[in-house]
Amino acid sequence: MKSLVTEEEISNVAKLMKIDLEDHTAHIKRVQKMLEYFDILDNANVESEEITVQETDLDKLRDDKHNPYDKNLLKFLKSYQGKYVKAPKLN
Amino acid sequence: MDLGISALNYVSSIKNGEFTVEEFTSKSLERISQVDEKLHAFLRVNDLAIKNAREIDTKIKSNQNVGKCYGMPISVKDNMCIEGSKTTCASKVLENFIAPYTSTVISKLNSEDAIIIGKTNMDEFAMGLSTEYSAYGPSRNPWNIDYVPGGSSGGSGVSVSANECIASLGSDTGGSIRNPASFCSVVGLKPTYGLVSRYGLVSYANSIEQIGPMTKTVEDSAFLLNIISGIDSNDNTTIDNKNQDYLRDIDIGVSGKKIGIVTEMTNSEGLSAEVANATNDAVKTFEKLGANCEHVSLQMVPYTVAAYYTITSTEAGSNLARYDNIRYGYEFDSSGFEFNSYISQARSKFGPEVIRRMILGGFVPSAGHAGKYFLKALKVKSKLIAEINHVFEKFDFLISPTVPIQPFKFGEKIQDPVSFMMIDFNTVTANLTGIPAISVPYKITNGLPIGIQIMANHLEEHSLLQTAYALEKTVDLPEVPV
């Protein structure tokens, strides 16, 4: 079945991703074209396929212990006060 | 002094006292200043390179232990962190980002006395295959500067091809090492997923991307893989390779090996006649060398590009969410902004392809659409893995063109997103399945390079490099014209 992704749907997703589409039409048309191409997945006949997942053995994980980090990472932030990060206000 | 020498020959020459590290580094920097204005392989050059070279010369003269690289100049794609220096991912968003720590691969190179000569250009956040999406302007192909060098590790490919350095590290999410290797006529290896640590690599699609070498010869790729591979406690996806020596018996040959010619990659709609001819030649060469070649079908291949872009966009949407100008980003005051509009404003610095991938990455896994796109893509990936596992029960290697076409002119492909994506057709299979794959320079046709891709089963880099070496030894290519 051909994709029926509308401009409005794409605009809504962009908003959720906090992206302001200045060049609205050009971006939306290209995204639509890409999604239309993704319709080819409908022909792959994989409905009954199991999704295999990458597993990591628990013994491969790092020990669950605190590793002190001696560098002052806060100085890499643009805006902070004391030990607090400054962020814009939430309405 | 020949700046085009291989890494192994460089080490011999230094050991024999033919030149010093400082002399070679100076010549390399001179070469960069001569050609890089035209080629734009580098985003930044290391100001301390000469100082580093002198320090290594001192170690050599005073008979101290010297690392395996003996001061060879190596460039690094600008998505790998070096503490205290800029890592931009060729994005305006990270224009002033100073990395607070060093990636494992760079630490390993430093501990073997390599000189990181500079950071190379790329498509923004590694999203692209021509460097046309770099926020700092594209790199140019040294074989013909009107043509793209491939990407996303295009700057790395150019820097090696144009003899601005001995070798480079790139990263490969869907072909980003192999594509520019093919377009620039250098060797490019994407290792098995997990063989090389990704600690300190800026994430794009972390479930499939890998760091790998881009070099002048297959032996040099084996040499660098010896250094950068192995387990890393900072990356729990890494694999213990028991310090395998990838250079050992590299000249053993391919006699009796079974090579599958991937039907879908050698008969595809977009395959150019020149690339098809070169691939047929390479198959005949392998047969002459004693390998048995026959066609094999991977039925999921026609769906891999769609699956790849679905999965990588989803991961990119998540990975790039951190660029909010609070934790990462460029400076502008938050006062007067509401939270969401502030972040939207910050993200306006993303380039067009990154914006599109983020929108796609929000769309394809979303409620109501995940079943049609994301879950189906994961199922294609699972079925492809099963097919790959099955064919490697019969074959030792798979062969295909690295890229279905030769390098193209700037602006020629970028307007049509679908035909642009299809350039990844032959390379994404190795990423989706995690297997190693290498691009070997094979031919120069109409003045532009063609590379051949060889793939092997998981962790079979040793035999893969032996096979690539056998093919490489049959070709005699002209020198790069720049």
Rounded mean pLDDT of A56-75?
Answer: 78
Phi, psi of B78 (to 5 degrees): -80, 35
Q: A42–B376: do the CB atoms touch at under 8 Å? A: yes
Residue B358 lies in a domain: yes
Same-domain status, B83 and B167: yes
- What are the tokens at B68? 């395996």
Same-domain status, B163 and B91: yes
Residue A1, pLDDT > 60, answer no
Phi, psi of B33 (to 5 degrees): -65, -25
Per-residue pLDDT band at A23 (split at 50, 70, 90):
low
Interface of A with B in 3-22 (CB under 8 A): 3, 5, 9-10, 13-14, 16-22
Per-residue pLDDT band at B446 (split at 50, 70, 90):
very high
Tell how strand B187-190 and strand B397-401 pair up.
unpaired
* Chain B hits for A86, Cβ within 8 Å: 334
* Domain count within chain B: 2
Closest alpha carbon within chain B to A45: B380
* Chain A hits for B333, Cβ within 8 Å: 79
- What are the tokens at B249? 């018996």
Chain B CB within 8 Å of residue A80 CB:
no
If you average pLDDT over every residue of chain B, what do you get?
96
Distance, in Å, from the CA atom of B226 to the CA atom of B69, rounded to the nearest integer, reads: 11
Amino acid of residue A40 = I
Residue B77 lies in a domain: yes
pLDDT tens-digit map of B262-312? 999 999 999 999 999 999 999 999 999 999 999 999 999 999 999 999 999
Phi, psi of B412 (to 5 degrees): -70, -35
Same-domain status, B109 and B179: yes
Residue B395 lies in a domain: no
Task: Point out the domain boundary residue: B376, B396, B414.
Answer: B376
Same-domain status, B247 and B320: no
pLDDT for residue B331: 72
What are the distances in angstroms from CA B259 to CA B282, B291, B292, B401, B421?
11, 7, 6, 14, 27
Structural domain for B350, as ranges: 304-376
Closest alpha carbon within chain A to B421: A34
Handedness of CA B2, B462, B130, A11 (dihedral sign): negative
Same-domain status, B310 and B246: no
pLDDT for residue A54: 74
Residue B365 lies in a domain: yes
pLDDT tens-digit map of B328-344? 777 777 778 888 888 88
Residue B393 lies in a domain: no
Same-domain status, B222 and B347: no
Per-residue pLDDT band at A60 (split at 50, 70, 90):
confident
Per-residue pLDDT band at B327 (split at 50, 70, 90):
confident
pLDDT tens-digit map of B366-417? 999 999 999 999 999 999 999 999 999 999 999 999 999 999 999 999 999 9
Task: Indicate which residues of B carry an active-site annotation.
Answer: 77, 152, 176
For chains A and B, CB pairs below 8 A equal 153
pLDDT tens-digit map of B105-123? 999 999 999 999 999 999 9
- Domain assignments of chain A as residue spans, ordered by start: 1-44
- DSSP class per residue in B279-313: HHHHHHHHHHTT-EEEEE--TTHHHHHHHHHHHHH
pLDDT tens-digit map of B224-236? 999 999 999 999 8
Task: Point out the domain boundary residue: B376, B406, B438.
Answer: B376
Closest alpha carbon within chain B to A3: B372
Q: What is the ipTM of this complex?
A: 0.93
Residue A4, pLDDT > 70, answer no
- Whose tokens are 């890409």? That residue is A34
Same-domain status, B235 and B343: no
Residue A22, pLDDT > 80, answer no
Residue in B366, B376, B418 to test binding to A, most A beta-carbons within 10 Å: B376
pLDDT tens-digit map of B38-54? 999 999 999 999 999 99
pLDDT for residue A73: 77
Distance, in Å, from the CA atom of B478 to the CA atom of B480, rounded to the nearest integer, reads: 7
Distance, in Å, from the CA atom of B347 to the CA atom of B320, rounded to the nearest integer, reads: 10
CATH number, domain of B169, equals: 3.90.1300.10
pLDDT for residue A2: 57
Residue B196 lies in a domain: yes
Residue A75, pLDDT > 80, answer no
Residue in A34, A53, A69 to test binding to B, most B beta-carbons within 10 Å: A34
Q: B237–A51: do the CB atoms touch at under 8 Å? A: no
**H or E, element range at B262:** strand B258-262
Instruction: Give me the residue from A22, A47, A89 closest to B338, CB to CB.
Output: A89
Residue B447 lies in a domain: no
Closest alpha carbon within chain B to A51: B379
Same-domain status, B41 and B162: yes
* Chain B hits for A40, Cβ within 8 Å: 302-303, 306
Same-domain status, B95 and B175: yes
Residue B349 lies in a domain: yes
Q: What is the pTM of this model?
A: 0.96
Same-domain status, B154 and B15: yes
User: B341 to chain A, minimum CA–CA distance in Å?
Assistant: 8
Instruction: Give me the residue from A27, A42, A79 closest to B356, CB to CB.
Output: A27
Task: Point out the domain boundary residue: B376, B396, B417.
Answer: B376
